[in-house]
Amino acid sequence: MAVLLPAHVGSPDVFWTGNAGPYPIDVVIRAPRVVPGIAEILVHTTAPGVERVTVRPVYWRAGSKGAPSADEARPVVGAPGSYSGRLWLMASGSYSVHVGVSGRAGQGTAVVPVAALATGQLALSPGLKVLLGLLGALLVAGVVTAVYAAAGESQAPPGETLPPSRRRHARVVASVGAAVVALLVLGGARWWRAEAKAYTRTLYRPMHTTAALRDSLGVPLLTLHVVDTLWREDRQPALMPDHGKLVHLVLVRIDSSGVLAHLHPTMPDVATMRTALPPLPAGRYRIFADVVHETGFERTLVDSLRLGRPTSDAGVASLDPDDAWFLGPVAHVTRAGATSRVGGGVTVGWLGPKLPIAGRTGALRFALRHESGDSVIVQPYLGMAGHAFVQRRDGGVYVHLHPSGSSTMASELAFALRDRGDTTAEGRLRMNTMPMATAAPEARREIDFPYAFPTGGAYRVWVQLRVRDTVRTAAFDVDVVPPRLP
């Protein structure tokens, strides 16, 4: 499988849409693959009168009081309203990037959570290897030659021929010098390999889990158990609810059928997540469990499960009221778009991108239509107007999106509580007792999810909305082409 990143399996970039004070902004953060490393930040705004944009990295442990000063983001040539910046992320863990905007309307700051994790090692290109090898050989030859000259010719008066005994002595000294240099090179190579091996131990790896299905008085129960030592020994920060739930568990069937379940398990202990299952067909399923630590760090646990036979509807009564599942047809996106009927006289249409290209930033845009011709009244679902799930068909990419972007409400609140001076425990207590923020029902004709497909390939996208007290799910298949050369 592809490299697994926290809360973004194979999709490491962060997308965020919101306001920095009076200025609406869109933010894209491309996190570094190595830490310390440089994050690339792109800020776009349509607001007039913007005079200055700054970006500032804030590590969760230090807070804004312990963060470095902000760097100025530079305007992007040929792209009005766009600004780019670069920030060093010096430590692994949970960061927030403070995007400051100032202009004629005043000043404002947006807080965008981002995870800084080492997920790979930078390799030398073949050309650079050859160049460094030649330079190294030249350096070794120069050192040995200098030793030979120091022990031989430098000992003879100017203009006199070096006697054979001195020449033999110089050769012996040069041989000893060559052996010493060889030992230094060998020692340096061993040190380099040891450092590289030590660095690999710092690379992010997904937590090990086990998934099991059992029957409890006719109710199918799924248990996801985290067996990783770091988790079981309580060496990870505690979890905090996101959108009012500790866990968002997604099951996706591994075949051509459009099957999705978005569930919210309970946690009888720190390492166990348990939920009843809705009626699902037999087959193999991928499991993605999204959680947020109280540091604001987002994580996705990954596992798989085989259902030997369809599950009954006996577990429906035991499900969380916000659980939803989908078994239905999938619309294939073409240049003309695609339309998915979700029931209740509502259709969800794919508006764009019409030709998805990997790496091209933008948004997944959907049109909402009612058979009466009126706008669709969308009720808040888990505090948002909608949720979207993106998965590459081979399972190498998975991400949970909101209209505000790919980050979670819990991460943003964790940083807000931290900057307000709350300790971690106090922040957790506030989060657990705080009612989930919800918006009033609104009439919508469109809904957007900021995102860029990380790679080419065949993808499936699910969109979930709450309409007339029922969660409706639309499913789309989309073919993403690889990035084009400039």
In tens, the pLDDT along 163-204 reads 888 888 888 998 998 999 999 999 999 998 998 888 888 788
CA 43 from centroid of its chain's CA atoms: 18
For residue range 387-444, list pLDDT tens digits in order: 999 999 998 999 999 999 998 888 888 887 777 655 544 444 444 444 454 567 888 9
* 398 touches 300 (CB < 8 A): yes
Residue ranges, the chain, pLDDT below 70: 1-8, 256, 420-439, 485-486
Confidence (pLDDT) at 166: 84
Confidence (pLDDT) at 378: 94
Confidence (pLDDT) at 66: 86
d(CA 369, CA 374): 7
- DSSP3 helix / strand / coil % (the chain, rounded to 5): 20, 45, 35
d(CA 465, CA 386): 5
Q: How far apart are the first and last CA of the chain?
A: 29
* 403 touches 449 (CB < 8 A): yes
Provide the 8-state DSSP code for 313. Answer: G
* 339 touches 463 (CB < 8 A): no
Confidence (pLDDT) at 416: 79
d(CA 112, CA 392): 25
Is the four-CA dihedral 239, 240, 243, 244 of positive or negative sign? positive
Count Cβ atoms below 10 Å from residue 211 Cβ, excluding itself. 18
